[in-house]
């Protein structure tokens, strides 16, 4: 395996890492419902699942919450 011949100083290492930063998520406002949502993602409004401004699933119930409610009973 390759090993560095010399130790890399903290300053040189940190200069290389200066461009690693978080970017803000792209958020949009739905023209149909007026809700904020992540772009290119489905979102729930009043129990309905929307995608691209149209209802994808009426009376949407997430699978994880449905499984959790049956486990508690």
Give me the residue spans of the domains in the chain. Answer: 25-61
Look at residue 67 in the predicted model and tell me its pLDDT.
62
* CB of 43 closer than 8 Å to CB of 36: no
When comparing pLDDT for 3 and 20, which is higher?
Answer: 3
User: Which pair of structure tokens corresponds to residue 44?
Assistant: 């729930």
Angle at CA 15, nearest 5°, toward 1 and 7? Answer: 35
Mean pLDDT across the stretch 48-69?
A: 82
User: Which pair of structure tokens corresponds to residue 62?
Assistant: 């997430």
Q: Does the predicted TM-score (pTM) go above 0.85?
A: no
Residue 36 scores a pLDDT above 80: yes
């Amino acid at each position: 395996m390759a090993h560095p011949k010399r130790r890399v100083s903290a300053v040189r290492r940190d200069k290389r890492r200066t461009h690693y930063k978080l970017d803000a998520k792209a958020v949009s406002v739905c023209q149909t419902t007026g809700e904020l949502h992540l772009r290119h993602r489905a979102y729930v409004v009043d129990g309905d699942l929307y995608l691209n401004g149209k209802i994808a699933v009426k009376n949407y119930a997430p699978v994880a919450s449905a499984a959790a409610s049956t486990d508690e009973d």
